[in-house]
Amino acid sequence: MNQIPPDCLRPAFTERVSRLLAEGRPVNVYGKEGHGLVHLVDDLKRYCPEPVQFVRLSMRSYAGSYDGFLMALCDALHIPTGAEKPDFRSTINRFLEQPGNRLWLCLEHFDRLADEQVDNKAVDVQGYDSHFLNYLNSLNNNPNVSLLLTSEHEIATRELYVGGKRVRGSQLDIARRYPLERLTLAEIEAHLQRCMPTSEATSAFFQNQPTFFTSLVTEIDAHPAPLFFLEHIASKIPTGLDTPLERYHELMQFWKEDYDANHAKSTDLLIHDAELKVRRWLDRTKRVLGISKILRAINTKAGMTIAIIGSILYGLYQWGQQAWDWVSALFTK
């Protein structure tokens, strides 16, 4: 296996996942956006051992299109498609027919299969069904294929949802499930230095502004999306030796506000998030109570209504907070 170099975002964690994939074990790594999950996949792909073929497909793009998923897989593996519709199993087998071929298959945002609003019949037609999951499980017995699933939430092995519907009898066999580890202060510091412009002034900044640099790393670590925030401010940090420390603290506050303004969720996204939470709550309640007749009567429209009302109230609450901040700012000047 290739040695994982130190320029990875998380060298130790990347090596651990890479080692499991090299052993042929399926892995699920899960974590929220802004913490470097996509970066982890980038690093695994960069240092994938020869002659392994690393293929990454995002279910953000293909959760609603099984045909699109198969076409993208064929394209990534350089498998020509004829008049007949490609098949998941046969596509992998055709790739492995070539002597020496090995595959690391990474399905990113795998939990989007459960989030997408797809009719159950359409899911069956498309192919995201129990056969799809069973074939993923069968890859565990193939020494030439390793499976990596990334997601925001841990992929439950006893309950799997595809197209927003439970796949009865499904059980996805995952050898290891890891939450994405928090970046250490050393990893933040190393990545910050890589992201900042390379110059003598930058080198001098790290040497001559240790107090602010330590404060900067601590602020990034405390941010809810540390990697996104780091990459947002890296090119903005002034490296002049005559910049007073107070100015850096003012800039930090400005950068936080600027980041929040540029990454605020739209109303549509807030409603979508609320819909998902309501839907998950209803599903869990139905299962816990044995799916009573009353809960069966709660349809999608009722759930959407609850979600929309909740989102509107949340939006009004946020607007009220901002208005109060503006009024307070006027009287404190």
The pLDDT assigned to 295 comes to: 41
Nearest Cα neighbor of 184 from 9, 38, 15, 29 is 9
Whole-prediction pTM:
0.75
Q: Is the distance from CB of 159 to CB of 142 less than 8 angstroms?
A: no
CA distance 311 to 309: 5
Nearest Cα neighbor of 68 from 57, 78, 77 is 57
Q: Which two tokens stand for residue 186?
A: 């050393």
pLDDT in tens, 155-188: 876 566 666 667 666 677 888 999 999 999 999 9
The pLDDT assigned to 86 comes to: 82
Question: Across residues 32-59, what is the average pLDDT?
Answer: 94
CA 203 to chain centre: 33
CA distance 212 to 175: 43
pLDDT in tens, 286-325: 444 444 444 444 444 555 565 556 556 555 655 555 555 5
Question: Across residues 30-43, what is the average pLDDT?
Answer: 95
Return all residues near 169 (Cβ < 8 A) that are at least 6 apart: 130
Cis ω before 51 (30° cut-off from 0): yes
Question: Across residues 270-278, what is the average pLDDT?
Answer: 53
**Other Cβ atoms within 10 Å of 61 Cβ, number:** 14
pLDDT value at 285 more than 80? no
**C-alpha torsion angle, residues 7, 12, 16, 22 (rounded to 10):** 30
**Residue 139 — very low, low, confident or very high, per pLDDT cuts 50/70/90?**
very high
Question: Token pair 């170099």 is at which residue?
Answer: 5
Question: Across residues 117-122, what is the average pLDDT?
Answer: 61
Question: Across residues 38-54, what is the average pLDDT?
Answer: 94
pLDDT in tens, 56-74: 999 999 888 888 899 999 9
Q: Is the distance from CB of 52 to CB of 77 less than 8 angstroms?
A: no
DSSP for 35-84, please give it: SSHHHHHHHHHHTPPTTEEEEEEEHHHHTT-HHHHHHHHHHHTT----SS
**Other Cβ atoms within 10 Å of 166 Cβ, number:** 16
pLDDT in tens, 213-257: 888 899 999 999 999 999 999 888 877 656 677 787 888 889 999
Mean pLDDT score of the chain, rounded to an integer? Answer: 78
**C-alpha torsion angle, residues 272, 274, 280, 283 (rounded to 10):** -100
